[in-house]
Amino acid sequence: MKAILFDLDDTLVIDEANSRKAMAATAHLAAKLHGIEPERFALFAWEHAEELWMGSPVEPFATPLGIHWTECLWVKFGGTGEDMDRVRQWQTEFCPRLFVDALAEQGITGDGVPLAACYARTRRESQCNFADAAEVLTTLKRTHRLGLLTNGDPLAQRAKLATSGLEHFFDAVVVSGEHGIGKPDPRVFQIALDALQCPASEAAMVGNSLARDILGAHNAHLARAIWLQISGAEEFADTVPDATITRLSELPALF
């Protein structure tokens, strides 16, 4: 095995858990300002956001590239083209509307702008890595070429990577939004493998998504596909990984 590809969100940096923390903080601000029930507010806002996202005109374009509504609440997108322009336009309407609707669900008429600002600020400040990410990458870097293969908007994902302090570990970084194709499409895996100058037969993929990372690695005929199972944030699919780990520190022993 000469090279290892890594996913970014919920593989090296914590994503969903911090998004839920930001929603909880926003709910507590709403309770302070309006006297609502914060747990009810947070639950409704999360479920309503999913409904708005799935019914939006931008979701069919955005989801395959790894853009999600949780990012729309705090990330500045930098992709080009009419489709990304539509995502940004939808984003400006979605952020305050979500929290206005969550207040209205409890009979309150209120301004969603300060709540949207709270979510964005809290989520940005909470951005962090898994505790063992740097140590594991340091160990594996000694014996393997390392690549990052992440779905998402280029500006957003590269900003997350820069904030993480992990960028220097990688010999290649591939972001789906820069190529117009995302995992599990085997073509984006091949782009990463070409950048690492490594054949699929001598490479492995590590990621938290069965539907994107593991299925994509199989589609691209990588030698190994290793699933990082994050409790409470599992993304299930009808595909079987070659190995399953529950923390990154288990990874070096597999190689």
pLDDT of residue 170: 98
Q: State the average pLDDT over residues 99-114.
A: 97
Residue 234 has pLDDT above 70, yes or no: no
Contact indicator for 67, 182 with CB cutoff of 8 Å: no
Number of domains in the chain: 2
Choose between 155 and 193: higher pLDDT: 193
Residue 23 has pLDDT above 90, yes or no: yes
Same domain, yes or no: 42 and 120: yes
Residue 233 has pLDDT above 80, yes or no: no
Mean pLDDT of the chain: 95
Read off the pLDDT of residues 203-223 as tens digits, 9 standing for 90 and up.
Answer: 999 999 999 999 999 999 999
Q: State the average pLDDT over residues 176-186.
A: 93
Same domain, yes or no: 67 and 185: no
Q: What is the dihedral of CA 67, 8, 193, 246, to 10 degrees?
A: -120
Contact indicator for 200, 193 with CB cutoff of 8 Å: yes
pLDDT of residue 231: 79
Contact indicator for 182, 211 with CB cutoff of 8 Å: no
Alpha helices in 38-171 (DSSP H): 38-54, 59-65, 69-72, 82-104, 113-125, 133-141, 154-164
Q: Which of 243, 143, 252, 244 is nearest to 202 (CA)?
A: 143
Structural domain span for residue 181: 3-14+128-254
Same domain, yes or no: 84 and 150: no
At 79, the pLDDT band (50, 70, 90 cuts) reads confident
Domain end position, chosen among 77, 109, 125: 125
Same domain, yes or no: 102 and 149: no
Residue 244 is classified by DSSP as: E
pLDDT of residue 237: 76
Domain end position, chosen among 73, 97, 125: 125
Spell out the residues 6+ positions from residue 49 whose beta carbon is closer than 8 angstroms to its own.
69, 70, 73, 94, 98
Note if the bond before 114 is cis, omega within 30 degrees: no
pLDDT of residue 7: 98
Name the percent of the chain lying above pLDDT 70: 99
Q: Which of 32, 17, 46, 169 is nearest to 105 (CA)?
A: 46
Q: State the average pLDDT over residues 123-140.
A: 96
Domain end position, chosen among 125, 160, 191: 125
Quote the pTM value: 0.90
Residue with structure tokens 């999913």?
50
